Structure 1
Amino acid sequence: MTDFPHTQSAPGGSLEGIAEFDFDRAARRGYPEAVLCEGKTMEHLVAIARAVGERGSTNGHQPLGTILFTRASATQAEAVCRELPDAVHDPVARIIAWPGPVPEPSGGTVLVLCAGTADIPVAREALLTAQHLGRPAELVVDVGVAGLHRILARVDQIAAASAIVVVAGMDGALASVVAGLASAPVIGVPTSVGYGAALDGLAPLLSMLNACAPGVAVVNIDNGYGAGHLAAQIAAGG
């Protein structure tokens, strides 16, 4: 039977009435817990950031790794960075990373392909997640299917990747196109970009789920963090 570490041994993990932060997740799974800022009150978010900072400065425990705060508004980011002065905030991706520096990369390359300029925030969320989880990662922007020559010009890059994240709104067709060119697994991220019948990302979600090219997995609408995390895990072995 696996002997799982328990968070009771990690000071600051229990915030009564607010959160039970899983400080041992990095030891158990290889990657630390992230903090979703969206929907949290400022009081709760500051308390969590303070607990993270206190635990990170406590000796005698497993290192936390890089803690990511996702979907952070500008006001939330300002408050978190006051508690964690060495954190780094990317306002486009709405990600805060603590500690800030990207770790030395290892494993295979994660390639993030972004269909259009409007998809960049979600694509950067995937990119930074993969980088902060320790993978070399590259972002290619504006290679949607309206101009197939743009993605065909990237065939060598696609062939060299260990995991590929495809971020697309509108019809979401880019995931199928890339999967037809790639030997690596493709992770589709439908975005809420598009006109009325795109239904805030539902249309590209269904399109990606119905991809006829094999080797396509799909995360939820606008879930760049989930895609970047999965890609980092896939590419861990090179």
Structure 2
Amino acid sequence: MSHSYNSIEEVLKAVKSNQLSINDAKAQLSHYDELGFAKIDLHRAQRQGFPEVIFGQGKTKEQITKIISSLIFHNEVILVTRVDEMKAKYILQHYPNLEYHQTAQLISTPLKDIPQSKYYVSVLCAGTSDLPIAEEAALTAEIMGVSVKRFYDVGVSGIHRLLSNIHDIRRGKVSIVIAGMEGALASVVGGLVNHPVYAVPTSVGYGANLNGVTTLLSMINSCAPGTSVLNINNGFGGGYNAAQIIHMLENKESEVSL
């Protein structure tokens, strides 16, 4: 793995001192890495605060492995979503230091290597059937360096389960609410907390759920203010957005302390 350079000046100095070859310097200064089947965005972290994330669904195991190789060369945190076990087994044979999170179908840099934030995100899951999407959200936030507290199986059909955890949920700075069926949990949580809520509808439900469309429409029509709705089964989007808010909050505090 190569050293990471934070500026053009650092790259030029490394070349001058023979610490970096000209070819490696060109790679460090590139805006993207051309792989033929993909152009890897190497400046994503500089623009958005986190490296390019690999959407594994629809890509071959060989393609994913080559993309990971490019990102690792540039010392980026690895996050690959929607990876089945067969692809994961192949990828981990090439990169055994990465972790596979089976429930979320996600490959990442080891969580132990990622410092976590002071503030945390509350991730709520209505039912056990929604766990894959909830874990995708929770792990995405954690891989982005944000602490997470999980509150699972707290759907409205047994609302006492939610209320017994409400004080800890409120202490979080953002809530991600994962629910299928009619998606009522998002509205309930939205009416109980004073921070942003990201609602993620899932495709869990009987026929009239329409593979999550009913849940999506229900969440969009929530009367609880402060609730934003992600796409169906988009746990990644919920985790990413929540992590951005935590980073903004902590960066603001750092600026004030200076």
User: 1:35 corresponds to which residue?
Assistant: 54
Q: SS of the counterpart of 2:168?
A: helix
Percent of residue pairs bearing the same amino acid type = 43
Is 1:171 equivalent to 2:182 in the alignment?
Answer: yes
Q: In the alignment, is the contact (CA less than 8 A) between 1:109 and 1:161 conserved in 2? A: yes
**Alpha-carbon separation, structure 2, partners of 1:228 and 1:177:** 20
Following superposition, which runs of at least 4 residues in structure 1 exceed 4 angstroms of deviation? 5-8
Relative to structure 2, which stretch is displaced further, 212-221 or 43-52? Answer: 43-52
Correspondence list, 1:175-190, <5 A: 175-190=186-201
**Alpha-carbon separation, structure 2, partners of 1:12 and 1:97:** 21
User: 1:227 corresponds to which residue?
Assistant: 238
C-alpha deviation, 1:107, in angstroms: 4.3
What TM-score do the two structures reach when normalised by structure 2?
A: 0.82
Q: Could you say if the C-alpha distance between residues 189 and 206 of structure 1 is closer, same or farther in structure 2, counting changes exceeding 3 Å?
A: same
**Alpha-carbon separation, structure 2, partners of 1:46 and 1:7:** 18
C-alpha deviation, 1:53, in angstroms: 3.0
Correspondence list, 1:1-238, <5 A: 9-10=29-30, 13-16=33-36, 18-56=37-75, 64=76, 66-236=77-247, 237-238=249-250
Q: Which amino acid aligns with 1:112?
A: V
Equivalenced residues, count: 225
Q: In the alignment, is the contact (CA less than 8 A) between 2:208 and 2:214 conserved in 1? A: yes
C-alpha deviation, 1:154, in angstroms: 1.4
Q: Which amino acid aligns with 2:107?
A: I
Gaps of 5+ in 2: 1-7, 9-25, 251-258
Q: In the alignment, is the contact (CA less than 8 A) between 1:158 and 1:181 conserved in 2? A: no
C-alpha deviation, 1:25, in angstroms: 1.0
User: 1:60 corresponds to which residue?
Assistant: none
RMSD: 2.0
Q: Which amino acid aligns with 2:52?
A: E
C-alpha deviation, 1:147, in angstroms: 1.0
Q: In the alignment, is the contact (CA less than 8 A) between 2:32 and 2:41 conserved in 1? A: no
**Alpha-carbon separation, structure 1, partners of 2:111 and 2:120:** 21
**Alpha-carbon separation, structure 1, partners of 2:196 and 2:104:** 23
Q: SS of the counterpart of 1:222?
A: coil
C-alpha deviation, 1:50, in angstroms: 2.5
Q: Could you say if the C-alpha distance between residues 40 and 73 of structure 1 is closer, same or farther in structure 2, counting changes exceeding 3 Å?
A: same
Q: In the alignment, is the contact (CA less than 8 A) between 1:10 and 1:55 conserved in 2? A: no
The structure whose Rg is larger is: 2
C-alpha deviation, 1:234, in angstroms: 1.2
Q: In the alignment, is the contact (CA less than 8 A) between 2:28 and 2:74 conserved in 1? A: no
Deviation per CA, 1:17-52, whole angstroms, max 9, x where unpaired? Answer: x11111221122111110000011233222212222
Gaps of 5+ in 1: 57-63
What TM-score do the two structures reach when normalised by structure 1?
A: 0.89
Q: In the alignment, is the contact (CA less than 8 A) between 1:176 and 1:212 conserved in 2? A: yes
Q: In the alignment, is the contact (CA less than 8 A) between 1:169 and 1:201 conserved in 2? A: yes
**Alpha-carbon separation, structure 2, partners of 1:118 and 1:68:** 23
Q: SS of the counterpart of 2:116?
A: coil
